[in-house]
């Protein structure tokens, strides 16, 4: 009998048993009707990843308060009863189909394409331009105001209250989005954080907002509720950024997350593959370091729908799990395809030719019949 591919082995994510090591990466789909309430179409979208055999689904970046956190028009939130209820249907349906689902909690900070009045670590103009396809706004981001201490407290409360709602909605956990240049990454990064208080200066201080959020959620002491953190070097407005002190920065960040009580670390790559996003400028593996220094489970990302590459990442000890973004969009049944040795399709960027929403994707698939379902 053929030996099963290592990525299809079952694994424990802290106390959560997963049937394999394959994860759907969080992907913003701007699919609500403007009220932030998750819809029936979103339920269908998430359910098919569960039916497609993914061990874990990390649902899209969801805003945490109604002041300054929303990134995009039509992004889902988890800030009131109706939004919570919408998520509850999705969680129920995903669980019913045998899936596990974690919600990514996100604050956009200076990189909001929804708000004109934004907040960040410091009053620093974000570099480059807004993303295409997610909102009608284009061009430069607005100049943010620096958060005062009371606004920072509100951010922490927003994340904790959202985690409480996520737990009540039945999620298996939450992932704190500290990657890709959004608010928590704006605090982490030296060129966007020029503060002189306890949230600025040293890297330890710049990690503080993220670690305070993690510990405030862990203090709620929910049983069987995972709290992970997503970090990255690259940013949506600075793809090629690397941590200035490579492994040294990694060691401090990963240890701080562990001390705060994080249950896993998810290392994101900005769409140019694992090596581009996950290695230091000297070629060392940051996800591998995260495993070594913390002993926590680590998820890696970046072009890992390529089976050979995903297998290498697990076998060489870079990570315990692999998260698929665009590869999951093209193959919502990727794990089943791998198990049955069926052809895995490449991602076709035309999928977003009608728009980024799930409805647009489904319409495009119906036209092209490429979803392979």
Ligand X SMILES: Cc1cc2nc3c(=O)[nH]c(=O)nc-3n(C[C@H](O)[C@H](O)[C@H](O)COP(=O)(O)O)c2cc1C
Query: Site residues (CB under 6 A) for ligand X?
Result: 25-28, 60-61, 104, 177, 179-180, 230, 268-269, 271, 301-305, 324-327, 356
Best CA proximity match to 117, nearest among 83, 147, 158, 150: 147
- For residue 257, give every residue at least 6 positions away whose Cβ sits within 8 Å of its Cβ, in sequence order, or none: 207, 210, 211, 214, 229, 231, 265, 294, 296
Residue nearest to ligand X (CB): 325
- Least distance from C-beta 197 to ligand X, angstroms? 27
Instruction: Give the residue with the Cβ less far from ligand X, 104 or 122.
Output: 104
- Least distance from C-beta 45 to ligand X, angstroms? 12
Spacing of C-alpha 348 from chain mean position:
21
Instruction: Give the residue with the Cβ less far from ligand X, 193 or 301.
Output: 301
Instruction: Give the residue with the Cβ less far from ligand X, 48 or 195.
Output: 48
Residues found in the chain: 373
- Least distance from C-beta 232 to ligand X, angstroms? 8
Q: What stretch of H or E contains 24? A: strand 22-24
**292: its two tokens:** 């070594």
Can you tell me whether residue 232 is helix, strand or coil? strand
- Least distance from C-beta 256 to ligand X, angstroms? 19
**355: its two tokens:** 């728009």
- Least distance from C-beta 24 to ligand X, angstroms? 9
CB atoms closer than 10 angstroms to residue 11: 18
Instruction: Give the residue with the Cβ less far from ligand X, 13 or 324.
Output: 324
- For residue 231, give every residue at least 6 positions away whose Cβ sits within 8 Å of its Cβ, in sequence order, or none: 178, 179, 185, 188, 253, 257, 265, 266, 267, 268
**259: its two tokens:** 């001390």
Instruction: Give the residue with the Cβ less far from ligand X, 169 or 179.
Output: 179
Residues catalogued as catalytic: 182
Best CA proximity match to 21, nearest among 347, 329, 245, 324: 324
């Amino acid at each position: 009998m053929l030996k099963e591919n290592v990525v299809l082995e079952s694994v424990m994510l802290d106390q959560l048993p997963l049937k394999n090591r394959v994860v759907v990466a969080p992907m913003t789909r701007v699919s609500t009707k403007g009220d932030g309430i998750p819809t029936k179409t979103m339920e269908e979208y998430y359910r098919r990843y569960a039916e497609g055999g993914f061990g874990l689904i990390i649902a899209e970046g969801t805003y945490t308060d109604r002041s300054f956190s929303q990134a995009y028009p039509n992004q889902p939130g988890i800030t009131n009863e109706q939004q919570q209820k919408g998520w509850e249907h999705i969680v129920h349906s995903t669980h019913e189909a045998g899936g596990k689902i974690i919600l990514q909690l996100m604050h956009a900070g200076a990189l909001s394409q929804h708000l004109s009045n934004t907040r960040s670590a410091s009053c620093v103009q974000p570099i480059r331009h807004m993303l295409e396809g997610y909102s009608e706004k284009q061009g430069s981001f607005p100049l943010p105001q620096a958060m005062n201490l009371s606004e920072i407290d509100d951010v922490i409360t927003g994340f904790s209250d959202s985690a409480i709602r996520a737990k009540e909605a039945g999620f298996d956990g939450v992932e704190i989005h500290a990657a890709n240049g959004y608010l928590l990454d704006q605090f982490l990064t030296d060129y966007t954080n020029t503060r002189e208080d306890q949230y600025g200066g040293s890297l330890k201080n710049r990690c503080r907002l993220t670690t305070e959020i993690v510990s405030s959620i862990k203090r709620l002491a929910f049983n069987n509720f995972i709290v992970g953190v997503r970090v990255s070097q690259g940013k949506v407005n600075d793809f090629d950024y690397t941590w200035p002190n490579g492994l040294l920065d990694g060691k401090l960040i990963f240890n701080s997350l562990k001390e705060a009580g994080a249950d896993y670390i998810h290392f994101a790559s900005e769409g140019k593959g694992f090596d581009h996003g996950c290695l230091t400028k000297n070629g060392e593996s940051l996800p591998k370091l995260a495993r070594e220094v913390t002993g926590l489970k680590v998820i890696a990302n970046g072009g890992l729908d390529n089976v050979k590459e995903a297998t290498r990442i697990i076998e060489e000890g870079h990570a315990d799990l692999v998260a698929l973004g665009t590869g999951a969009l093209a193959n919502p049944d990727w794990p089943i395809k791998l198990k049955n040795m069926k052809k895995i399709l490449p991602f076709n960027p035309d999928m977003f030719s009608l728009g980024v929403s799930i409805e647009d994707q489904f319409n495009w698939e119906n036209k092209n019949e490429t979803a392979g379902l």
